[in-house]
Amino acid sequence: MASGKARAESGPKLILASGSARRRMIFQALGLRFAAVTSGLEEPACAGQEPEAFVRSLAGAKARAVVEQMKLRTAPPWVVAADTVVVVDRAVFGQPADVHDARRMMRALAGRGHEVLTAVSIWSGPIEVVGFVETTVVRFRALEATELERYLLDGDWRGKAGAYAIQGAAGAFVLAVEGDAWNVVGFPVRSFLDRARAAGIPMPQERAVRPGLARLWPVADDELFADRRWGPRWG
């Protein structure tokens, strides 16, 4: 029978507290040894909180729920949770409830800039060891009514904060991105790797993760970690 130490060494180093297929794909592209576990938490609406505090509280609550669910006392495995919202005029957009909600969100984003906030929370047992919020600014071009309706009919807005995914059909609407575009995909890769390493959590180096990320989202290699990107070239 394997010892507890042997099981810990052979098991996952990270628990991704998320049901997001995009985040699972990013973790796979990074070559991380992980298991995905959903927290089961219902995401509340933002009721008067500042957007940064709101998204950070959601990420922390997801991580805590999985720690308690799995009865974890210490790391490894570390539990990683994230949550993403879109913010325009201080209004917080999560995932749209239906096509009418998606239409409302896309109309609010069209022809202007907005912020994408992703909070990341990393726990070792019952203690948060890393917590931060990454912000990226995205600018959309104006949208014709007919192209918006085609986009809504396609359904790519489902399950996406702000009713869009930059790596999907809505990439054609993007004029400019300032900051980490992976943050808009749903996970701030560079900041996660840097902050996890600083906390003593083993992480691969940038040169090791570039090939996997490039296969996941085929942009030019020198743009994978760029701080400023200009569209439209995201589809």
> Is 69 domain-assigned?
yes
101 burial type by CB count under 10 A (0-12 exposed, 13-18 middle, 19+ buried): middle
> Is 118 domain-assigned?
yes
pLDDT, tens digit (0-9, with 9 covering 90-100), for 81-97: 999 999 999 899 989 99
Rounded mean pLDDT, 53-71: 94
pLDDT at residue 168, rounded to an integer? 87
> Is 235 domain-assigned?
no
> Is 131 domain-assigned?
yes
> Is 51 domain-assigned?
yes
User: Where are the strands (E) in the chain, listed by range?
Assistant: 14-16, 34-36, 78-88, 91-93, 113-124, 127-140, 174-178, 228-230
pLDDT, tens digit (0-9, with 9 covering 90-100), for 126-158: 999 999 999 999 999 999 999 999 999 999 999
**CATH number of the domain to which 202 belongs:** 3.90.950.10
Better pLDDT: 115 or 180: 115
pLDDT at residue 46, rounded to an integer? 61
* Residue 118 belongs to domain spanning: 4-230
Residues marked as catalytic = 83
- CA dihedral angle for residue 8, residue 9, residue 11, residue 16, rounded to 10 degrees: 90
Residue 64 Cα to chain centre, angstroms: 18
Task: Count Cβ atoms below 10 Å from residue 31 Cβ, excluding itself.
Answer: 12
| Element at 226 (helix H, strand E) | none
Q: Contact, 43 vs 25, CB < 8 A?
A: no
Task: Specify which residues 177 forms β-bridges with.
Answer: 138, 229
pLDDT at residue 122, rounded to an integer? 97
The answer, yes or no, to whether residue 204 has pLDDT greater than 80, is yes
Give the integer Cα–Cα distance in Å for 176 and 40.
35
Q: At what angle do helices 145-154 and 99-109 cross, to 10 degrees?
A: 140
pLDDT at residue 8, rounded to an integer? 46
The answer, yes or no, to whether residue 1 has pLDDT greater than 50, is no
> Is 148 domain-assigned?
yes
Average of per-residue pLDDT values in the chain: 87
List phi, psi (to 5°) of 22: -65, -40
Using DSSP's 3-state secondary structure scheme, residue 28 falls into helix
Terminal CA-CA length for the chain: 50
> Is 135 domain-assigned?
yes
The answer, yes or no, to whether residue 39 has pLDDT greater than 60, is yes
Give the integer Cα–Cα distance in Å for 231 and 212.
22
> Is 211 domain-assigned?
yes
Listed in sequence order, the residues at least 6 apart from 12 whose beta carbon sits closer than 8 Å to its beta carbon are 33, 34, 35, 76, 77
Structurally, the chain folds into a number of domains equal to: 1
Give the integer Cα–Cα distance in Å for 161 and 35.
23
pLDDT above 90 covers a percentage of the chain that reads 63
